[in-house]
Amino acid sequence: MKNPLVIVSLVLLLCLASSCQNKAEEAELQKSRAQQNADEHAHGQGAAIPAGPANRQEELTHHGEEIQNRLQPPEKIMDAIGLKEGMVVGEVGAGWGRFTIHLARRVGSTGLIYANDIDKGALSTLEQRIKKDGLANIRIILGQVHDPCFPPRSLDMAFMINVYNAFEDPTRFLRNIAPALKPGGTLAIVLDDPAKSGGESERSATREEFLASVDKAGYKVEKEETFLEHDGLYVLRQK
């Protein structure tokens, strides 16, 4: 008959070994995520997507997307701004495409997304992602600092997320979006709300500053949503 103490000791050793392995794997995952978040913070939305083994990175995505999508749920945001199948949308500051992919899937094969950015590297990465995901309804547009360069009167909606506070001259940029909107077209903006977040940077506009810029650029607020944890969400129309 086997000694019960020996059996118990073996079980404890196996449990300890398993626990150590799990902790090591968890530490490695946290280290990886911390590095990716640091890269994103340093380079902004246009950060390059890091390469990784296929078994660890099933899709061509940035590790920070999972966290960002929890704070800014794509489906809820698209519902709130009224995005529907068949619409033509111009995304300002598409970067490596975190939101672009969701927009494209929502508008479907009868819709179209113009993905704008001034970062050639980010747009190159987005092109790779588009090919990998097999999306045929996205067009890449290299913009200018003060002009998104969307085709005139082509958009049912212009959209931007996490980019307003990066504009050198927000009012000027918003004005330059207007010629691309169809009659009745809307401009949807998601931006940091320092009253909620404490301000993502010194350039974070307060709600009052943002609304003043919107008014000066020739828009009026049609809808305002407050459900996002750190951000404000606005749907605008031209006056």
On the question of pLDDT at 123 being above 80, the answer is yes
DSSP 8-state secondary structure symbol assigned to residue 165: G
CATH number where 90 lies? 3.40.50.150
- Kindly report the pTM of this predicted structure: 0.76
Residue 26 lies in a domain: no
Mention every residue, 6+ apart, whose C-beta is less than 8 A from residue 8.
Answer: none
Spatial distance between the Cα atoms of 217 and 172, rounded to a whole number of angstroms = 7
Q: pLDDT class for 64, splitting at 50, 70, 90?
A: confident
Is 224 inside a domain boundary?
A: yes
Quick one: pLDDT at residue 203?
78
At residue 61, the pLDDT reads: 56
In which band, very low, low, confident or very high, does the pLDDT at 198 lie, cut at 50, 70 and 90?
confident
Is 229 a domain residue?
yes
Going by their DSSP bridges, the two strands 231-238 and 219-225 should be labelled as antiparallel
**Total number of domains constituting the chain:** 1
Which whole number is the average pLDDT over 20-35? 41
Any domain includes 43: no
**How is 6-58 classified by DSSP, letter by letter?**
HHHHHHHHHHHHHHHHHHHHHHHHHHHHHHHHHHHHHHGGGPPPPP--TTT-S
Q: How far is CA 23 from CA 19, 30, 66, 171, in A?
A: 6, 10, 21, 50
Q: What is the pLDDT averaged over residues 98-111?
A: 98
Tell whether 201 is covered by a domain. Answer: yes
Average of pLDDT values for 52-73? 66
Look at residue 47 and tell me if it is in a domain: no
Q: How far is CA 123 from the centre of its chain?
A: 14
84 is in which domain, residue-wise? 68-238
Report the chain's mean pLDDT, rounded to a whole number.
82
In a domain, 157, yes or no: yes
3-class SS of residue 85: coil
* The predicted structure's pLDDT at residue 4: 52
Of 26-35, 107-116, 187-196, 225-234, the least confident: 26-35
Q: Is residue 23 part of a domain?
A: no
Joined together, the tokens standing for residue 80 give 């709130």
Q: What is the DSSP letter of 95?
A: T
Q: What is the pLDDT of residue 5?
A: 53
